[in-house]
Amino acid sequence: MPSDLEIAQGATLRPMTEVGALLGLDADELEPFGRHAAKVELSALHESTTRGRYVVVTAVTPTPLGEGKTTTTVGLTEGCGLAGLRATAVLRQPSLGPVFGIKGGAAGAGLAQVVPMEAMNLHLTGDFHAVTAAHNLLAAMVDNHLQHGNALGIEPHSITWGRVLDMNDRALRNIVVGLGGRLDGVPRQSRFDITAASEVMTILSLSASIGDLRARLGRIVVGFDRDGQPVTAEDLHAAGAMAVLLKDALRPNLLQTLEGQPALIHCGPFGNIATGNSSILADRLGLQRSDIVITEAGFGADLGFERFVNVKCRTSGLTPDAAVVVVTVRALKVHSGRFTVSAGKPLPPEMLEESPGDVAAGLANLAHHLDIVAAAGVPAVVAINAFPDDHPSEHAVIERFAHQRGVRVAITRHVAEGGVGAQDLVREVLAATQEGSHLRYTYDLEDALEVKLRKLATLVYGAADVELTPAAAADLRRFAALGYAGLPVLVAKTHLSTTATPVDRGAPTGWVLPIREVRLAAGAGYVYALAGQMQTMPGLGAHPAAERMDLTDEGRIVGLF
Amino acid sequence: MPSDLEIAQGATLRPMTEVGALLGLDADELEPFGRHAAKVELSALHESTTRGRYVVVTAVTPTPLGEGKTTTTVGLTEGCGLAGLRATAVLRQPSLGPVFGIKGGAAGAGLAQVVPMEAMNLHLTGDFHAVTAAHNLLAAMVDNHLQHGNALGIEPHSITWGRVLDMNDRALRNIVVGLGGRLDGVPRQSRFDITAASEVMTILSLSASIGDLRARLGRIVVGFDRDGQPVTAEDLHAAGAMAVLLKDALRPNLLQTLEGQPALIHCGPFGNIATGNSSILADRLGLQRSDIVITEAGFGADLGFERFVNVKCRTSGLTPDAAVVVVTVRALKVHSGRFTVSAGKPLPPEMLEESPGDVAAGLANLAHHLDIVAAAGVPAVVAINAFPDDHPSEHAVIERFAHQRGVRVAITRHVAEGGVGAQDLVREVLAATQEGSHLRYTYDLEDALEVKLRKLATLVYGAADVELTPAAAADLRRFAALGYAGLPVLVAKTHLSTTATPVDRGAPTGWVLPIREVRLAAGAGYVYALAGQMQTMPGLGAHPAAERMDLTDEGRIVGLF
């Protein structure tokens, strides 16, 4: 069995002009970045009266191995293409942190991959690096402002703007900067987040235009002055230069699936600590120029899908026609609470034995995520992402459960078979898009910030209540008093459970969501609450994926999968 | 008078296939990155029996405004093209630090620019970002190794490998990482350098092939174990993944001059704290496929040119046929000691008055740099980079001085006139390349490390002696004992004077070079000595260039010059 990398390296790719033509794009609407990747000009976006069907892919709570949301997005796109539809996949660009950490590549798997997978998994067209540079330019200008007299009167301890790197580097979570001497900055405590968690990344994903990007950058609040008033990137005269750095990054990237459908790759992952959704511009571009757009939202429906609804769709005004909820036999077995799996290690052999009972014992988690999708008013399709080790009786448990709930369900074998293996799913998804979607938000913007947080906790996570640290509660009140009461709320929360505790399984209720800190993302347009021990900078494991990667003398990459 | 940015934005560019054809490159030897930039495949390099003429551009000690080494490199290339030669410019990619700091753009000026100047000055094809990522991946793997049991027995205080960002950010010069708790790394002091100062950048610039790059990355020493033995990137299994990240960055970037000659852009600037030379691969590619290659070496001849000779040429085996020493009236007036200029401020009005005496009073600096070039055995041409405010009598002082020394000299007006304005310089340079070059290194590799340092200090900088701190002296002995005695030595030194004191003018003698610290760059292949207060991470000024940059709603960049 060839590796994902070998399959991708062996593929014959369509010329980019041909991929662009599938979207009705002229050659001059594509700027090449490498032989098989291009930036799409924003001029290709137009006011369209018609649009294609809009399908969002979400999932149950994944194991650390991931349950195949990306492969399903790609495979479903391939399947739609095979069925004669003009289909476009919209995906987030992988972060170098996980690529070199646990995951290796994140461009799909098997016959359901975006290619060139090496470009997608590494620097691609440099968007993440541009976000890193723009974010860190603002940070340097904040510290530089302190150094040169602090005319704006920024209170150093109030500075909330850290720095970012696209790397899993836990040693940068808590740092002291500005040591040395008088010429080496003002000493203070600070932090690095991973680039995907940067507010700049979310701004990029939510911006409707260059002008909107520029304005949002200007609204970023870096900290507060001695009177407690917000100090913005505009106040520091940094927003213009940040926009200059992000000029190219605002344009979606065009790649292709292994079966030659267009794949728009834009913005960052991390549905746990960011929105975890690709950009509004990419979705809109696809919708204007395709019969159907399959877009991915990160992690379980409690995370990426919730943000898709309450932040992305609320901002864009677009509403999805259907949601695909990816489930695997192994995930439900884990949600039975009877097994533990670890990234980078083989599954425990007892998990591979035929055991429909274990699958059934995990169904509470699937039910929970289907409830979230149903509450949002979006027709759902359960996609059983089939693995070679699955047993038909185990699939049958899931199918039966879906039928009992009146939810569409299909087994999909896109990893092994490509678009051919996704035809059942294609049929169910197309049918679901005919049902009629009536998008409902979890909360109203008029709700108080604490109310929004409580609605997320109870209606989406299944918690009984929210508990804020005194500092977090005070900050929420402060943000409201400063005029930010109308913003949505985002919770940074583990993706490994529906609660704030990563080891929880199934769909626990009766627990309390602990919020230790809240941050203001005024440019992106939300308030950001950190739950439990959630970190905004991951660490590497004992044996990072990087250890097995190499470059041959001929320049061939090995070990990236 | 249009700004540099306006001139560049208004230019009509040649299609890249046409620019490539000037180098005899087929379309499949170019990989496009943007409409007017491309990566050149390494397969385009071949064993060549003939090569073009090889000209290095250096300068007197510059003022903070820069004296036009880049414009001269570009203008001379344009001039050679106009004279019917197949001419190629080889330049370093600008660093975002100075672009957003003091300099604004660094792609030339007026009619002597590399275009597209916005691509060149911003992310270009992402090489700097790739260096940043590779460098910081190794750093994360070092700290991760400490976190997960430290099997190699790395002594935390001995770790010399910091992190890098392509940013002027003084607050990152001295930091403490790993604070927080047990899961947040091991607390220790560390630092960020600017990306151009990364050993990875120098490795890229000195590598002869992918295999050489991979081997050099493996040899990087990150620190020492409890027995004092070096711990390498290979020991940490990080070098393969670093090479994967640098795969594209190893290929030179092809752009063009405003008059359509090929411009190969590769690797980083900072002749003060790095080698400040573009890559051997780019020079070699140009030499194989052009009649003449004009390559730039950073700052004065005491810095970039010294490294060009003792490190770059020694590594490549190539020898230059001539050196252009750029001089300006304003630089010599400053070297008279009678004036002070500051970056970002207009010249003092009294400096603009006709005053050949002030120019003559600064000639010692020109003499010093000509001595360095002469000692290296390379025929020199003094290029008087003419400014509109210069007076003919002031140019005459320089011409007379050159004639007296028997050195070729030409006035060049490439900024105002392009290649036409460089024809006198073209004639003198071509004549100089006929004189015969006999390259001599400043020191032998067999010299002891301290001897090499002393020879650089006395023969290149004009110092009377070297003074090492006890720690630096001990480290030199330690490096020698570990088998690194045969490496060249690089001095990180201010570029604003020939000494270690930035405010010095002219060419002082009788002073002592103070070395406070030495670092080992075993992958790049040199020992690195820090002189005086020299920092490896610059800071921003009170009003960084970033403050005036912006992006219009139509996506046009303004304020980048």
| CATH 2.40.50.140 applies to domain B4-124+259-433 | no
Give the per-residue pLDDT at A5: 87
Asked whether the beta carbons of residue B177 and residue A189 sit closer than 8 angstroms, the reply is no
- Please report residues of A whose CB lies closer than 8 A to that of B133: 96, 123, 129, 166-167
For residues A385-394, average pLDDT: 96
pLDDT of residue A222: 98
Partner-chain contact A243 B174, CB within 8 Å: no
* Residue A493 among known ligand-binding residues: no
Whether A106 has a pLDDT exceeding 90, the answer reads: no
For residue B174, the chain A residues in CB contact (below 8 A) are 178-180, 184
**Which residue of B34, B241, B546 is in closest CB contact with A141?**
B546
3 state SS of A232: strand
pTM of the entire structure?
A: 0.97
Q: Which residues of B touch A549 (CB under 8 A)?
A: 240-241, 244
Q: Average pLDDT for residues A28-48, to the nearest whole number?
A: 93
Task: Identify the H or E element spanning A296.
Answer: strand A292-296
Chain B residues with CB inside 8 Å of A168's CB? 140
**Closest residue, chain B, to A249 (C-alpha):** B123
As a whole number, mean pLDDT of residues A220-249 equals 98
**The pLDDT of residue B280:** 97
Q: Which of residues 233-252 of A touch B (CB under 8 A)?
A: 237-238, 240-241, 243-245, 247-248
pLDDT, tens digit only, all 561 positions of chain B: 788 989 988 999 999 999 999 999 999 999 999 999 999 999 999 877 779 999 999 999 999 989 999 999 999 999 999 999 999 999 999 999 999 998 667 899 999 999 999 999 999 999 999 999 999 999 999 999 999 999 999 999 999 999 999 999 999 999 999 999 999 999 999 999 999 999 999 999 999 999 999 999 999 999 999 999 999 999 999 999 999 999 999 999 999 999 999 999 999 988 888 889 999 999 999 999 999 999 999 999 999 999 999 999 999 999 999 999 999 999 999 999 999 998 878 899 999 999 999 999 999 999 999 999 999 999 999 999 999 999 999 999 999 999 999 999 999 999 999 999 999 999 999 999 999 999 999 999 999 999 999 999 999 999 999 999 999 999 999 999 999 999 999 999 999 999 999 999 999 999 999 999 999 999 999 999 999 988 999 999 999 999 999 999 999 999 987
Q: What is the pLDDT of residue B104?
A: 65
Alpha-carbon gap, residue B141 to B156, rounded angstroms: 13
At residue B73, the pLDDT reads: 98
pLDDT number for residue A553: 94
- Put simply, whether B547 touches A (Cβ < 8 Å) is yes
Left, alpha or beta for A84 (phi > 0: left; psi -120 to 50: alpha)? left
Q: What is the pLDDT of residues A108-133, one digit of tens each?
A: 999 999 999 999 999 999 999 999 99
Q: What is the phi-psi region of residue A463: left when phi exceeds 0, alpha when psi lies from -120 to 50, beta otherwise?
A: beta
Domains A130-246 and A449-531 share a fold: no
For A371-391, what is the mean pLDDT?
A: 97
Residues of chain B with C-beta less than 8 angstroms from the C-beta of A137 = 96, 100, 167, 546
Which CATH number is B449-531's, of 3.40.50.300, 3.90.1150.10, 3.40.50.20, 3.10.410.10?
Answer: 3.10.410.10
Q: Do A210 and B178 touch (CB under 8 A)?
A: no
Domain A9-45+58-125+249-433 sits in CATH 3.40.50.620: no
The ipTM assigned to this model is 0.96
Q: How open is the CA angle B74-B75-B76, to the nearest 5 degrees?
A: 95
Report the C-alpha gap between B130 and B126 in whole angstroms: 6
Mean pLDDT of A442-468: 98
Query: Is 90 exceeded by the pLDDT of residue A481?
Result: yes
| pLDDT score for A104 | 65
Q: Whole-angstrom Cα distance, residue B241 to residue B234?
A: 10
Please determine, looking at this structure, whether the domain spanning B127-246 carries the CATH number 3.30.1510.10. Answer: yes
- In whole angstroms, give the CA distance from residue B491 to residue B288: 31
**Does A96 touch chain B if contact means CB atoms closer than 8 Å?**
yes
**Burial (0-12, 13-18, 19+ Cβ within 10 Å), B436:** exposed
- As a CATH number, domain A130-246 is 3.30.1510.10
Interchain CB distance below 8 Å, B34 and A35: no
Q: What is the mean pLDDT of residues A405-419?
A: 98
Tokens at A219, concatenated:
């609204």
Phi then psi for residue B320, to 5 deg, are -75, 150
Spell out where B18-174 has E strands. 30-32, 38-40, 53-59, 87-91, 108-109, 112-115, 163-165
Q: Does B33 lie at the interface with A, CB-CB under 8 angstroms?
A: yes
User: Residue with structure tokens 């690096």?
Assistant: A129
**Tens of pLDDT, residues A138-165:** 999 999 999 999 999 999 999 999 999 9
Contact of A217 with A200, CB cutoff 8 Å: yes
User: What confidence score (pLDDT) does residue B46 get?
Assistant: 82
Which two structure tokens, joined as six digits, stand for B452?
């090499």
Q: What does the DSSP assignment read for B210-265? A: HHHHHHHHHH-EEEEBTTS-EEETTTTT-HHHHHHHHTTTTSPEEEEETTS-EEEE
Q: Are the beta carbons of B244 and A122 separated by less than 8 Å?
A: yes
Within 8 A of B539 by CB-CB distance, chain A residues are: 144, 147, 183, 185
Q: Which of A172, A173, A195, A533 to mutate to test the interface with B (most CBs of B within 10 A)?
A: A172
What pLDDT is recorded for position B343? 80
Closest CB from A34, A167, A547 relative to B136: A167
Name the band, by pLDDT with cuts 50, 70 and 90, for residue A47.
confident
For A338-362, write each residue's pLDDT tens digit: 999 988 788 999 999 999 999 999 9
CB hemisphere CA count around A163 (13 angstroms): 28
For A123, which of B130, B148, B183 is closest by C-beta distance? B130
Query: Over 80: is that where the pLDDT of A561 sits?
Result: no
Q: Where are the domains of chain B?
A: 4-124+259-433, 127-246, 449-531
